[in-house]
Chains A and B, each alone.
Chain A
Amino acid sequence: MLFFLTLVACDGPACLGGDPSCLMPSPCEAVTYSCEGGSTDAYWLGPDDVPPGGLDALGSVGDLVLQNDRIVAVIEALDHPHYIAPTGGSILDLGITGKDNDSLRHVFQATGLLPEEGFHYTSMELVSDGDIRAVQLLGTLDGYPDVAVATRYEIRPCEPGLRVRTEIGNGTPDALSVYLTDGFYWGGRENLPFTPRAGAGFTHPSFGLSDIGTAFFDVPFMVAGMHSEPGASYGVVACSEELLSGFQSDNVSAMGPKPRVFPARDWDVYERFIFAADGSAISGAADLAWELRDQLWGEAWTTLSGTVEAPGGKLGENLRASLLIVDADDVPVTHVLPANDGSWSARVPADRTYTLHAEAFGREVATSEVKVGGDPVDVGTITLPAVGEVSIDVLIDGVSDYAVVNVIPADDATAAATESTVFGFFDSCAPMLGLTHGGSPACNRLIVNGPTTIALPAGNYDFYTSRGPFSTLGAAQGVVVEAVTGQSLTLEVTSLDVQPAGTLTGDFHVHGGASFDSTMPDDDRVKAFVASGLEVVVTTEHDVVNDYADAIESLGVADRFTLLTGTEATGHVLFRFRSDYGFPQVVGHWMYWPVLYDPTAPWRGAAYDEKAEPGLLTTRQEDLGWSPTDGVVQLNHPYGGASFGRDYSWATAMGVDQTLPLDQAGGSTSQAIFFHKAEGARYGNDEYDVQEVMNGTKNEALLQYRSFWHYLLDQGIVRAGTANSDSHSLAENVLGTPRNVVFTTTTRADFDVATFNADVRAGHILGTNGPVIVASVGGHSPGLESFAPGADDVLHIEVSAAPWVPVAEVRVLVNGTVHAYTDLTHPADPLGAEGLARLTLDVALADLLPAGTADAWIVVEAGSPLVEQDDLDCNGLPDTGDNNADGSIDWRDVEELEADPGVNCFDVVGPLAEPAEPERGTADWLFRTVTPDGYPMSFTNPFLLDRDADGVWSGPGLP
Chain B
Amino acid sequence: MFCTAWLDGVAQGPVEAGLVDGDLGGAHRVCPATSVGLTPTAYAIIEPENLYGRILATGTLTGSWAVNDRLELYTRLEAVRLDMLIAAISTSALGPGYTTVGASWRGVDGEKWALAVQGKLVLPTAFVHDEHSAPLAADAGVQFVWAARDTLLVHAALMPNVGMALGGGPLYPRVGVNVDAGAEWRAFPRFAFVLDGISAFGRTDTLDYAGVGVGFRGGIGEHAGLALEARVPLVGRERALTSADVRFDWRF
Q: Hey, which bits of chain A sit against chain B, CB under 8 A?
A: 4, 7-13, 16-17, 112-114, 117, 148, 169, 171, 173-179, 209, 212-213, 259-261, 263-269, 582-583
Contacts and interface: CB of A to CB of B under 8 A. Distances in A.
B7 interface: no
A7 B131 contact: no
* Among B54, B163, B165, B204, residue most surrounded by chain A Cβ atoms (within 10 Å): B165
A645 to B, nearest CB: 9
Interface string B160-195: 000111111110101000000000000000000000
B21 to A, nearest CB: 8
A113 B87 CA distance: 9
* Among A209, A261, A267, A583, residue most surrounded by chain B Cβ atoms (within 10 Å): A261
B203 A173 contact: yes
B54 to A, nearest CB: 6
Given A177-B89, A261-B92, A265-B165, A169 B134 contact: no
A4 B166 contact: yes
B135 A582 contact: no
Given A113-B88, A114-B88, A259-B91, A17 B130 contact: no
B167 A8 contact: yes
Nearest to B237: A173
A266 B89 contact: no
30 contacts: A7-B124, A7-B134, A7-B166, A7-B167, A7-B168, A9-B168, A10-B167, A12-B167, A12-B168, A13-B168, A13-B170, A112-B89, A148-B170, A173-B204, A175-B54, A175-B85, A177-B90, A212-B88, A213-B90, A261-B92, A261-B93, A261-B129, A263-B130, A265-B135, A265-B169, A265-B170, A265-B172, A266-B133, A269-B132, A582-B48
Nearest to B48: A582
Contact of B85 (A117, A177, A269): A177
Contacts of B136: 4
A174 B91 contact: no
A260 B239 contact: no
Contacts of A13: 168-170
A114 B50 CA distance: 10
B89 A179 contact: yes
B83 interface: yes
Interface in B118-171: 124, 126, 129-136, 163-170
B111 interface: no
Given A10-B168, A175-B54, A265-B135, 14 more contacts: A7-B166, A12-B132, A12-B168, A13-B168, A112-B88, A114-B88, A117-B88, A177-B91, A260-B131, A263-B83, A263-B126, A263-B130, A265-B163, A266-B129
B57 to A, nearest CB: 13
A671 B213 CA distance: 45
Contacts of B204: 173
Contacts of B89: 112-113, 177, 179, 212-213, 259
A263 B129 contact: yes
A266 B132 contact: yes
Nearest to A148: B170
A179 B90 CA distance: 9
A263 B56 CA distance: 12
Contacts of A169: 169-170, 172
Contacts of A260: 91, 93, 131
Contact of A265 (B48, B56, B90, B133): B133
Contacts, number: 118
B132 A267 contact: yes
Given A266-B131, A266-B165, A177 B87 contact: yes
A267 B87 contact: no
A269 B131 CA distance: 11
A789 to B, nearest CB: 53
Given A114-B51, A261-B85, A4 B134 contact: yes
A57 to B, nearest CB: 32
A214 to B, nearest CB: 11
Query: What interface size band does chain B fall in?
Result: 35 or more
* Among B124, B129, B172, B239, residue most surrounded by chain A Cβ atoms (within 10 Å): B172
A209 B237 CA distance: 29
A12 B56 CA distance: 27
Contacts of A4: 124, 134, 136, 166
* Among B87, B89, B124, B136, residue most surrounded by chain A Cβ atoms (within 10 Å): B89
A507 to B, nearest CB: 38
A139 to B, nearest CB: 15
B51 A264 contact: no
B89 to A, nearest CB: 5
Contacts of B51: 114, 583
Contacts of A17: 170
Interface string B48-68: 110100101000000000000
Contacts of B56: 175
A267 B170 contact: yes
Contacts of B90: 177, 213, 259
Nearest to A3: B134
B92 A8 contact: no
Interface string B70-99: 000000000000010111111111000000
B127 to A, nearest CB: 10
A267 B172 CA distance: 11
Contacts of B135: 263-265
A175 B91 CA distance: 11
Contacts of B54: 174-175
B243 to A, nearest CB: 14
Contacts of A173: 174, 203-204, 237
A176 B85 CA distance: 7
Nearest to B136: A4
Contacts of A268: 131-132
6 shortest interchain CB distances as A-B pairs: A12-B168, A267-B169, A265-B165, A177-B85, A177-B87, A173-B204
A264 B134 CA distance: 11
A266 B85 CA distance: 15
Given A12-B169, A16-B169, A261 B133 contact: no
A269 B163 CA distance: 23
Given A114-B51, A265-B133, A209 B88 contact: yes
Contacts of A113: 88-89
Nearest to B173: A265
Contacts of A269: 132
A112 B92 contact: no
A485 B133 CA distance: 71
Contact of B168 (A11, A114, A171): A11
Nearest to A8: B166
A112 B48 CA distance: 16
A8 B91 contact: no
A117 B132 CA distance: 21
A731 B227 CA distance: 69
Nearest to A216: B89
Nearest to B168: A12
A842 B192 CA distance: 93
Nearest to A17: B170
A10 B131 CA distance: 12
Contacts of B170: 13, 16-17, 148, 169, 171, 265, 267
A147 B129 CA distance: 17
Contacts of B239: 174
Nearest to A181: B89
A200 B89 CA distance: 22
A259 B124 CA distance: 22
Contacts of B91: 177-179, 259-261
A568 B167 CA distance: 49
A8 B124 CA distance: 12
B87 to A, nearest CB: 4
A4 B136 CA distance: 10
A901 B87 CA distance: 30
Nearest to B203: A173
Nearest to B172: A265
* Among A117, A175, A209, residue most surrounded by chain B Cβ atoms (within 10 Å): A175
A582 B172 CA distance: 32
Nearest to A213: B90
